[in-house]
Amino acid sequence: MKTLKYAIFFLSLSFAGAIQSQEIKKNPADYINPFIGTSKGGNTNPGAICPFGMMSVCPNNSPKPLKVGEKSYPTYVYGNRYFSGFTHTNLSGVGCPDLGALTIMPISGKLEIDPEKYSCTYADEKATAGYYSVDLPKYDIKAEVSTTLRTGIERFSFPKGEAHILFDAGRSVSNIPGAYLKINSPTELEGHKMIGNFCGTGKQSVIYFVVQINREPDRFGCWQENRILNSFTRENSGNNIGAFFSYNLEKEEDIVIKIGISYVSIENARMNLEYEQNGFGFEKVCQDAYDAWNDKLSRIQVEGNNEKYKQMFYTGIYHMLVHPNILNDVNGDYPAYMTGQTKNIQGRNRFSIFSLWDTYRNVHPFLSLVYPEYQSEMIKSILDMYREAGRLPKWELCGMETDVMVGDPAVIVIADTYLRGIRDFDVTLAYEAMKKNATTMASTTRPGYNEHIQKGYIAELRENETREGPWVWGSVSTGLEYCMCDFAMSQMALALNKKADYQLFRKYSQLYRNYFDTNMGCMRPRWTNGDWVEPFNASPQDEKEWWNQVGFVEGCTWHYSMFVPFDIKGLIGLYKGEKNFIRKLKECFKTNNFNIANEPDIAYPYLFNYVKGEERKTQYWVRKCIDTYFGNDHNGITGNDDCGTMSAWLVYSMMGLYPDCPAKDTYQLTCPVFDKVTIKLHDKYYKGDKFIITAGDNADDKHFIEKISINGEKSKKYSITNDQIVNGGVLSFTLQ
C-alpha cells in the first residue's frame, strides 16, 4: 500500500492548484525540472529548496561507494550509481566545492556506519518544486525530502524489522575538517560543522544545526572514525563523527526527521526549526514550498505550444532564484562579512553567496526587472558588507570573502541596479563604497589596477620580474574587467552629476584600446616594456589552449577580443571597420570558438545587432545556441550554471531580449520562442503594470524577425530601452 500512497501524494503535489482557468492548465511551478543541468558540468542538483533558501536538501551520489573521509564533488551528478544520504546546505552551479554538509542516511537491516558499506544503488528518482524522492531497493526504503527557508524535513518509509537513521556530522563537500555533536535526548541532537576553503582560498566558516526526530528510537549512540563509541557517549568532536538512531519496527512505518541550521549559533538553529516547522507536517512543508515557487515564477507568464521550451524557461528562472540566498535567521541575526561577528539585520533579509563575476552580466539585471524588491535587499546586503569590512565583496560566501575571479564586479551591480530605477538604498554610501574600491582600496580589491591606470595596461611578467601588490590573474582579462567596472563608475557618476568623476572613469574605461593589437586584430598581452607578448597564437583552435593562454582568465583571446560591451562602436573602429568586425565575429562562431559555457563571450551572439543588415545573424545564432547548448533534461546546461548565469542567458534569450551591457539602458532584441510573454512589473519600483511581448502563433517554429513594433509604432531598431520596458507596454514581433 505504501507505493500507492506515495504515488497519490506525488501526483497531488505536482499538480496542486494546477488548473487555474481553462486557458492555463499548468502552473509555472509545474514546469520546473530540477534535474536540468545535473550532468555535463552544469553542477546543479535536484534537491529540495525554497526560493532564495538558506537550506537545501540534496541527494549525495557518487560513481563508487565513498570511503570514510572521502569527499564527493559535485554533491550530485546525474547517472552516478551510489547514493549515500542527503546533504544540507548546497551550492548550485558553481565550479569549486564547499558546503554540502550534514548528511542524513536511512538504512534497514544490520547497522552500518561505514559509507563504503551502507552506500547503495537507487531507483525511481522524482523531483519537483521543493520536493525530491528516491527509492533505495537494497533497503526497501522510500526517502522523501522538502524544505522551508532555513530548515529541512525528510520522511523515510521503512519496512518491518531493523531500521536506522545515520547522521554524519563530519562529512561535507568542503575539505575543511572538524565537527561537534551532542545528543540532547533520544529524539534531538545538536552541533556544528566547519566549512570553507572555496577554490582553495583557505577561508572558513561554521554551520550550526539542531536535528529532531518524531519517534523515539530503541537504541541510539555516537561514532567516530568508523567505530561506534560506548553507550554512555552523548557528546563528541573531531573529524569523522556522527550519530545513529535505531528502531525495531513491527510493521512498515514512516519516520520523519527535521533539521534546522544557522550560521550564528545552535540556539538560533533551534529557533529557526521551531519557528518554521512547528511539528512534523511533511505534506504541509512540501505544499508551502511548491506554493512559494509558483508565486515567484508566476511573475512571468509564457504562452505557446512548446512544452519543452516552457520547462527550460521556468527551470531557468528557478535556477536564478537559488543564489544569492538568505543568510539571516528568523530573528535577524547573521554573521558579519569577514569578521563573523553576530549582527542583526532588523526587519529585512541579509543575502549571501554573491558570485558577482558571473552574475553581474545578466542575473542581477533580471532580478532588477522581475524581482526588484529582492535585488534592492541584495544591494543593501552588499552595502552592509562595506560597512562591516570597509570594502565591497567580490565572491562572498556565507560571510567569507573568497576573492575568487577578477575585476571589481560589485561596482557594476550597484551601478546597474541604480540605473535600472531601483534607488531605495543609501546611494551616497554606495557611491562612496564604489569609489573607495577604485581608489584607496584598489591595491587590495583591484590587483594590478594602479599599474593599469598609470601605464595604460597591466603587464605580463617575464621570469624573475615582480610587481607590487597581489598577484594578477590574466593581465588582459583583468584589465578588460576594470574597463567594464570604470564604465559603470562613469555612468553612476554621470547620473549623480559628479562630472569630474564621470570624465575620469570614462577615460579609464577606454584603456581597453591598449590591450588590442590592431595588426593581429585581437586582444593580446604586453610585456612590462610595452612590447606584445611573444610567442602568441591569435587563433587558438585547441580547447586546451583556450584555458591556458597567457594573459587570460578561463578563456583565450577568442573569448575576450570583443568583450567591450560598453563601446562596440569604438571596438569596431579598432577592427578597422564593420566588415572586419563581422568577419571576425562570424569566424568565432563558425570555427566553434564561441564558448557559451563561460562568461566573457556570453553576449557575442547579440553583437551582430550593432551592424545594420547583420541582425539576422543574431537571430540565427541565438536560436542555435538555445537548441544546441540547452535542453530539458540532465544535460540541459553546458558548463557550470554559475549561480544562474547560464540560465539567465537562456531565459532572456527565450523572451527575445538581452541586456548585453550592464549599466547601459539598452536590451538587444532577437526572436522570442513563445507566442506571448507577460512580465508583471512591481508597482513600488516601476510605472508600468506589465510588459508584454507578442510574436504571433507558433513562434517556436519561426527563426527570423520581419517587423518590430513598440506600443503599436513600428521600430527600425533591434534594441529597446529599459525605460520602455519598465514603463509598461507591448513589444510586438512579426516573425517568419
Q: 97-122, pLDDT tens digit by residue?
A: 999 999 999 999 999 999 999 999 99
Beta-strand pair 188-196/204-213: antiparallel
CATH of domain 2-296: 2.70.98.10
Looking at the chain, the whole-number percentage of residues with pLDDT higher than 70 is 97
**At 202, is the pLDDT very low, low, confident or very high (cuts 50, 70, 90)?**
confident
Q: What is the mean pLDDT of residues 493-504?
A: 98
Beta strands in 63-160 (DSSP E): 82-88, 101-108, 120-121, 123-128, 131-136, 141-147, 151-158
Assess whether pLDDT exceeds 60 at residue 155: yes
Distance between CA atoms of residues 161 and 112, nearest Å:
15
Assess whether pLDDT exceeds 70 at residue 32: yes
pLDDT in tens, 271-281: 999 999 999 99
Residue with grid cell 547579440, as numbered in its chain: 606
Q: What are phi and psi of 733, to 5 degrees?
A: -110, 140
Burial of 651 (0-12, 13-18, 19+ CB in 10 A): buried
Assess whether pLDDT exceeds 70 at residue 7: no
Domain boundaries, the chain: 2-296, 300-735
pLDDT in tens, 557-573: 999 999 999 999 999 99
What is the number of other CB atoms lying within 10 angstroms of the CB of residue 440?
12
**What is the edge-to-edge ordering of all strands in the sheet holding 354-355?**
354-355, 395-397, 400-401
Distance between CA atoms of residues 734 and 670, nearest Å:
11
Q: What are phi and psi of 86, to 5 degrees?
A: -110, 125
Q: Do domains 2-296 and 300-735 have the same CATH topology?
A: no
CA dist 194 → 34, 67, 171, 217, 239 (Å): 28, 20, 10, 28, 10
Residue 324 near residue 354, CB atoms below 8 Å: yes
What is the number of other CB atoms lying within 10 angstroms of the CB of residue 424?
13
**At 16, is the pLDDT very low, low, confident or very high (cuts 50, 70, 90)?**
very low
pLDDT at 431: 98
What is the DSSP code (8-state) at residue 527?
A: B
3-state secondary structure of 240: coil
Q: What is the mean pLDDT of residues 27-36?
A: 98
Q: What is the mean pLDDT of residues 716-723?
A: 97
Q: What is the mean pLDDT of residues 586-615?
A: 96
Average pLDDT value over all residues in the chain: 94
Is 202 or 79 the better-scoring residue by pLDDT? 79
pLDDT at 268: 98
Q: What is the mean pLDDT of residues 676-693?
A: 98
Beta bridge partners of 709: 714, 732
Assess whether pLDDT exceeds 50 at residue 586: yes
Q: b/e map of 259-281 (b: 16 or more CB within 10 Å)?
A: bbbbbbbbebbbbbbebbbeebe
Q: What is the mean pLDDT of residues 324-351?
A: 97
CATH of domain 300-735: 3.30.2080.10
pLDDT in tens, 511-533: 999 999 999 999 999 999 999 99
Distance between CA atoms of residues 654 and 632, nearest Å:
14
Assess whether pLDDT exceeds 60 at residue 71: yes
**What is the edge-to-edge ordering of all strands in the sheet holding 123-128?**
123-128, 131-136, 141-147, 151-158, 253-262, 204-213, 188-196, 179-185, 235-238
Residue 45 near residue 75, CB atoms below 8 Å: yes
pLDDT at 21: 38
What is the DSSP code (8-state) at residue 594?
A: -
Assess whether pLDDT exceeds 90 at residue 462: yes
Distance between CA atoms of residues 726 and 207, nearest Å:
40
Residue with grid cell 587590495, as numbered in its chain: 444
What is the DSSP code (8-state) at residue 30?
A: G
**At 732, is the pLDDT very low, low, confident or very high (cuts 50, 70, 90)?**
very high
Q: What is the mean pLDDT of residues 190-219?
A: 95
**At 19, is the pLDDT very low, low, confident or very high (cuts 50, 70, 90)?**
very low
pLDDT at 528: 96
Assess whether pLDDT exceeds 90 at residue 22: no
CA dist 246 → 241, 279, 287, 541 (Å): 17, 21, 29, 58
pLDDT in tens, 424-446: 999 999 999 999 999 988 888 89
pLDDT at 17: 44
3-state secondary structure of 261: strand
pLDDT at 442: 83
pLDDT in tens, 373-407: 999 999 999 999 999 999 999 999 999 999 999 99
pLDDT at 63: 94
> 63-67, 472-476, 608-612, 712-716: which has the minimum mean pLDDT?
63-67
pLDDT at 545: 75
What is the DSSP code (8-state) at residue 640?
A: -
**At 706, is the pLDDT very low, low, confident or very high (cuts 50, 70, 90)?**
very high
Is 546 or 508 the better-scoring residue by pLDDT? 508
**What is the edge-to-edge ordering of all strands in the sheet holding 729-735?**
300-303, 676-680, 690-694, 729-735, 705-710, 713-715
Comparing CA positions, the residue from 726, 715, 509, 518 lying closest to residue 609 is 715
pLDDT at 542: 72
Distance between CA atoms of residues 442 and 552, nearest Å:
20
Taking phi over 0 as left and psi of -120 to 50 as alpha, with beta for the rest, 51 belongs to: beta
Q: What is the mean pLDDT of residues 702-711?
A: 97
- Which residue type is seen at 3? T
